[in-house]
Chains A and B, each alone.
Chain A
Amino acid sequence: MIDPLEKTPFILARADEFITWAQKNSLWPFGSGLACCAIEMIATAAARYDIARFGMELFRASPRQADLFIVAGTVTNKMAPVLRRLWDQMPDPKWALAMGNCAIGGGPFPTYSVLQGVDRIIPVDVHVAGCPPTPQGLIHGLMILQEKIARSRPTKEILNPDARRKS
């Protein structure tokens, strides 16, 4: 995590602001629909909720071009390796959002075939609870993610690539 007392040179701080402004306003989600939550995710992109307002409507079909992994739905043990691979295919910087109770912790399925929480395989930035979460809930989660991105310091990672690899 970032130490708030750590000093950042003025130029770098401005650069950070600049880069994070771009990153948080252009979060292209990876269109990965797994189960019920995927329908609500699509509803969020559709007319009434329209995440295009935040520049997030470009659902990329290829993980190579996406910034945000919305894990929308139940992750099964059979699907988990696939998800991990997709996550690895996404280029840095990338963020993950666990949408719905199933992705957070298995939800109502404590069974032999369900992965009990997607953070066992990929690092999740924001959890959005609900079964499924309403579009408003998802948008709220995305806003929280935007705030989180605004607090990040990308220049630190650019200047010191090893730090990223360690985290």
Chain B
Amino acid sequence: MQERLKQKATQLLENGTVDRILGWKAGEFFYDLTPAVFTTKEQIEKDFVFNVFAGANLSKYLIAESRKGGKVAAFIKPCDSYSFQQLLKEHRIWRDNVYVVGVQCDGMCDAAKLGDGVLSVKEEGENLIVDTLYGEKTVLKADAIADRCASCKSKKIVIFDELIGEQGEETENDRFGEIARLEAMSPEERFEFWRGELSRCIRCNACRNVCPACSCEKCVFDNANSGVRNKAAADSFEENMFHIIRAFHVTGRCTDCGECSRVCPQNIPLHLLNRKMIKDINELYGPYQAGADMDTKPPLTNFTVDDCEPSIVHERGGQ
């Protein structure tokens, strides 16, 4: 796959389709890829990488990249394509300046699942051969797959100019299972659960800054004029506040790409909040997938006269 992507990138540069390529660059180890912009064949030859750790969702970079003049090609995986289209829908990306190469994806791996002291990794079929400071071992790719990919919602690339690999379909998944488990708890248990999770937050803003839906020119939490600015949670309230407001601001816009949980240095399952909102929207207002198309009205800027009342939250209990 990596070679096909490299070839495509080189070809797009050489035939003048684009001026820049947005992809992933090799790091010190096999797993620490960095999103990067390539402008020459040489750079691509030397540094362009695509492997099971190319999890970073590149769509958000296109907000800035598409405004830089010239045209940029971006490699977009299925879940990234939803984010991309959602950003288009919100007029955040200048479509004319982007050439989207859809890349099929079999799920990305989580480096933390490889164990300690990883020096290098080789992909061999279904296996990863991991060389560590403490010896070599073989890990099944399936055992190292990232949690978000294990409950992948769709392998469909919803928008592209060109496709590498097969087009996929929406997949059967149990992504709402963990939400249902939380809903089944008593409010006290849920409160304890979230207190435990959110109290670890260090307000590094990684979740916000990586989130394609959080693309505000200026976040209310950075804006002294908003009246709610804060840089650190001085009280447990502020830990809640940040995450509630963030989840609410992306409600109906979150595509469930899972980047927030991936980047959290404290492993807080932040995606659960967003996913709960998605589940609610699906159940209360009919199925809706942000970014799936350009036309459907987002649920929070839409209504029907027969919508349920807010009291449904009381009536249905924790559901």
Asked if A pairs with B, the answer is: no
